[in-house]
Amino acid sequence: MKKLTLLVLSIILFIGCEDKVVVREKVKTMIRQNEYQKVAINYPITNYKELDEQIKKDVDHDYQKFQKDTKSLSTPSEFNLSYTYNILHERYMMITLSTMIQSDALEHTNNSIHTYVLDQKKEKILTLEDFISKEELKKIMPLMKEALLSKYKDCIEMENFSEMMAPNFDHFSLFTLTEDYLILYYNPEQLTIGYEDIVSIEIPLDKIGLRIDFERGVFEEEHETISIPEKVIDPNKKVIALTFDDGPSYYTDQILKLLQKEEVTATFFLIGNKINRYQETVQTMLKNGNEIGNHSFSHKWLTKLDDDDLQEEIILTQDTIKNLTGFTPRVFRPTYGAVNDDLKHQVNLTPIMWTVDSSDWKIKNANTIANRVLESCQDTSIILMHDTHKRSYEALKIIIPSLKEQGYQFVTASELETVKKIRARAKLDA
């Protein structure tokens, strides 16, 4: 049979106008799963001591509360802590931590949020009072009231709402800023009754005349064409697919360099809320011939979500990848490996599971991880790994050469499916 040639068209990469910043943060990740608990924690290590201590304190508080609230439950529970990270005008670091606690035994989903604004120049955590005066705060009141009543009219708790109308900075401790908006957050039941999600409203800065001391600067990125190299795969020879979940992360670049050195490709299933912090890393994935897949926006337990929340998790990630690279993922990896008929129906992407679990998220030793993988591999295996640990990188330095010596071709998840189809057709034609 002739060799299968897989040609991937060039992708036009459009990058909008953004501030150029040096990203200092690493990502702390903890994934735990057993019969009764599914835990996914992702938060940043910024290397600013005061901020890191406060973030760690808040993460520990939320996680301990989850353990306490679900300790006696005999039904599965989920703890999901994710974050967003942005830099404004190369100076102000904006971080939000979002926590979701969910269980069949709880009456409702418990959501909470923490926000942090850091002045990197002064290395100081800021409050809204550092940006505006009390007189300017008074201008927010009617706009805030209008926004809240417009968006949350049916669930506003009027007694609490009346108290919030007093111009007190204590009521505005949860906030972030963009170039055009002040975004205010309130935890469930702080202002509302029977509403489980975080309350958020956007106040246009130009409507309140805020004179925030931003250091202005606009930087334009040139449009770039990503030319993905041609790949030749022989469907008569053994193939194997390396897949990575939960990235990108601080360690992904190391893994990409190793893959390029070994002249192999893989599939990376990305968490949407991490992508903008690792834009060059994601671009490099495609440039090197790797495949990008969808792994949700914040690693929530997808089969537990209602239709709207599920669509949001998938669509936000699709849009983030498309906006950055011009490439639209066609495959996805269900979080926790949980999939049902509703999920398949709602998500118009090909679900990719795995046949070999490296367990690198819990095994600390690289040699043990490598041996576990190598003992289980066979033709058309799909290996599950995570590009969020250094030990995974170290294990790959053992796994890849060994499998190459055994005659395996490394293919992406989509290429593996194509090889299977070609083999099936050849078998029918025989």
Instruction: Identify the bridge partners of residue 231 per DSSP, sorted by sequence position.
Output: 6
Secondary structure of residue 206 in the 3-state scheme: helix
Q: For residues 321 and 296, is the Cβ–Cβ distance under 8 A? A: no
Q: Is 213 a catalytic residue?
A: no
Distance CA 112, CA 107 (A): 16
Sheet containing 77-88: which strands, arranged edge to edge?
A: 26-33, 37-45, 77-88, 92-103, 110-119, 124-125
| Structural domains of the chain, ranges and CATH numbers in brackets | 26-208 (3.30.565.40), 230-429 (3.20.20.370)
Listed in order, strand segments (DSSP E) in 71-223 are 77-88, 92-103, 110-119, 124-125, 175-177, 181-186, 199-204
Q: So what's the pLDDT on residue 217?
A: 29
Peptide bond into 351 cis (omega under 30): no
User: Exposure of 21 by Cβ count < 10 A (0-12 exposed, 13-18 middle, 19+ buried)?
Assistant: middle
Q: For residues 225 and 14, is the Cβ–Cβ distance under 8 A? A: no
For the record, the structure tokens of 96 come out as 């939000």
Q: For residues 269 and 386, is the Cβ–Cβ distance under 8 A? A: no
Each residue's pLDDT tens digit in the chain (430 positions)? 444 444 332 222 222 333 333 344 577 777 777 777 888 888 888 889 999 999 999 999 999 988 888 877 777 888 989 888 888 877 889 999 999 888 776 666 788 899 999 998 889 999 988 887 777 777 787 888 888 888 887 777 666 666 666 666 777 889 998 878 889 998 877 777 767 788 888 888 877 665 554 443 222 333 344 455 567 889 899 999 999 999 999 899 999 999 999 999 999 999 998 998 899 999 999 999 999 999 999 998 899 888 888 999 999 999 999 889 888 899 999 999 999 989 988 898 999 999 999 999 989 999 999 999 999 999 999 999 999 999 999 999 999 999 999 999 999 999 999 899 888 888 887 7
Closest CA relative to residue 278, chosen from 311, 254, 301: 254
For the record, the structure tokens of 3 come out as 């060799």
Secondary structure of residue 404 in the 3-state scheme: helix
Listed in order, strand segments (DSSP E) in 164-235 are 175-177, 181-186, 199-204, 224-226, 231-233
Of 360, 386, 387, 389, the active-site residue reads 386
Q: For residues 399 and 391, is the Cβ–Cβ distance under 8 A? A: no
Q: Is 307 a catalytic residue?
A: no
Distance CA 78, CA 98 (A): 14
What does DSSP assign to residue 125? E
Q: So what's the pLDDT on residue 133?
A: 76
Q: So what's the pLDDT on residue 13?
A: 28
Secondary structure of residue 4 in the 3-state scheme: strand
Q: So what's the pLDDT on residue 108?
A: 65
Of 245, 246, 360, 387, the active-site residue reads 245
**How far, CA to CA in Å, does 251 sit from each of 30, 373, 383, 390, 394?**
15, 20, 18, 6, 11
